[in-house]
Amino acid sequence: MKPVIAVAPLFDNSKDSYWMLPGYFEVVAACGGIPIMLQMSDAGDAREILGKCNGILLTGGQDVDPALYGEERIPECGETCKPLDEFDKILVDYAIEEDFPLLGVCRGAQFLNVHLGGTLYQDLMTQHAEGHNHVMPKPYDAEWHTVKLSEGSDLREIFGTDEPGVNSRHHQGIKDLSPQLECEAVSDDGIVEAIRLPGKRYIRAVQWHPEHSWKKDARQKGLVQSFISACMAGK
């Protein structure tokens, strides 16, 4: 039996509609999972659906509302989506309470950090000007910068190196890391790029986008495969 992966939806505020990038589904399927996109529902319905699944993929999307980490919005902060913030909270809470595998991507990493007490740079070019541009041009499947993997992290085994190249498609980033989380990777200009929640089977998130680069970079597929393997182990 293949594990069923609950994929958090992307949401279009202007059209009031759900949508999905096929790369998320494709890489989950290629790694042996069955992806299904969730609808944004209340906690009761979400928990019932999640009880029939084996893991959560927390996708990218709009900026996390700065109010969630106690800051006023700056002009450079992008569009936010309150319903998505509220739904992602339900998903993260479920993963923590049930020790349920979760992999976060981009916004997924940012939201996990904020929900557990961390903060964000609302705009890296404004608030971390000494760094480089983290919004690469298309296509998004190339390496844009390197990350240094933390000593002792199993990401080193997954990637086969302690300093892999990754893609980059984000204008926000982790500023203050949640005291509950461990850093697993830092970019070459000092931005936290991978995090995990210790004491859980598999709650991890990365700032880069494996769903864009897995076809060209087998190491990115290996990252998603580690998540799917954790989901299978819990079946």
DSSP of 63-76: BPPGGGGT-PPPTT
* Catalytic (active-site) positions: 106, 209, 211
> Could you tell me the CA-to-CA distances from 68 to 12, 18, 86, 209 in Å, in that order?
21, 23, 10, 24
Q: How far apart, in whole angstroms, are the C-alpha atoms of residue 87 and residue 95?
A: 13
Strands (E), 112-231: 120-121, 145-149, 165-166, 173-174, 182-187, 192-196, 203-206
DSSP annotation of 5? E
175 is written with which tokens?
A: 């500023």
